[in-house]
Amino acid sequence: MLNRTQIETIADELVRADRERITLPRLTARYPDMVIEDSYAIQKVWSDRRVAHGARLVGHKIGLTSRAMQVATGITEPDYGVIHDDMVYQTGSTIEFNRFSNVRIEVELAFVLSKPLTGRHTTIFDVLDATAYVVPAIEVLNSRLELEGRTIIDTISDNAAMGAMVLGGRPVRVDEIDLRWVSALLYRNETIEESGVAAAVLGHPAMGVAWLTDKLAQHGQSLGAGEIILAGSFTRPVWVERGDTIHADYGQLGSVTCRFV
C-alpha cells in the first residue's frame, strides 16, 4: 500500500496532467505494490484538489459494468469516478477536442436522484424509488494515464477515465419504460459504429447504481439528492478525432449529439 505522501504526490501529478492535457506513465509500473484502496484514495484527493479550485461535485460515474466493456479493457470488475460541474454538457454542444488527452465515446443512461442513497445492501428497488428520472447520455472518456497495460488500479486512480458527459433526449420516469430494453445506435460522422441495449449493464442499469451505493458506503460516502449518476456503458468505446460529430439515437427516448472542434 502507498503512504499518504505518495497518494498526494500522485494526485497532484494527475491534476497537472489534466491541466496540461498530457498522459503519464502507468502507476502500476511505478508503484507495483499499489492496491485498489490506494486508487480510490488518490481519486478522492484529486477530486478534492479540483473542488478547492472551484469545481463542484454533481454526480458519479460507474464504469466497466457491461461484458462488452470488460472484454474491451481486460478488466473484470466495475469501478467508479466523480463528475464535476465543468464536465457536464447539453446535447448539441461543441466541445473543445484539446481539452482532453484522448477521446473515446460511450452511450449510457443517467439516473438523476430525488432522494439520497446510503448504506450497504442497496437493492434495485431502493434505486428506482430514489430516482426522479432517467435521461440518455454520452460519456466522454479521457485517460490521463497511458492505456497500454493498464489495470483497474490505474483506471480508478485516473477517475475511472471520466472526461465529460453530454445529456439529452427525453427524460423518463422509471415506471414509464422497461429500462432493460432501452437501446441506442452510436453514430460517428453518420456511420453507425456501435449499438447496444441497457440490460448489458449488470442485467438492469439500476443495478449499477445499487453497486455504486454499496461501494461508496465502504468508503464512508453516499449519494445525495440531485446527483447525476452515469450508470455504465452498454457499448464498447468508440475513438473520436478532432472534427468528428457524435450522434446517439435512443429511439423513443430521443437522441444526444455533440461535435468535437
Residue 77: the pLDDT is 75
Q: pTM to 2 decimals?
A: 0.95
Using alpha carbons only, what angle is made at residue 53 by residues 39 and 233, rounded to the nearest 5 degrees? 45
The whole-number mean pLDDT for each consecutive block of 10 residues of the chain, a chain of 261 residues, reads 97 95 95 96 97 97 77 75 98 97 96 96 97 98 93 94 97 97 97 96 94 94 98 94 98 98 97
pLDDT of residue 201: 92
- Predicted pLDDT at 78: 87
Domains and CATH numbers, the chain: 57-260 (3.90.850.10)
CA atoms of 112 and 228, how far apart (whole Å)? 5
Q: What is the pLDDT of residues 140-181, one digit of tens each?
A: 999 999 999 888 899 999 999 999 999 999 999 999 999 999
Q: Tens digits of per-residue pLDDT, 180-196?
A: 999 999 999 999 999 99
Q: What are the backbone angles phi and psi of residue 42, rounded to the nearest 5°? A: -65, -45
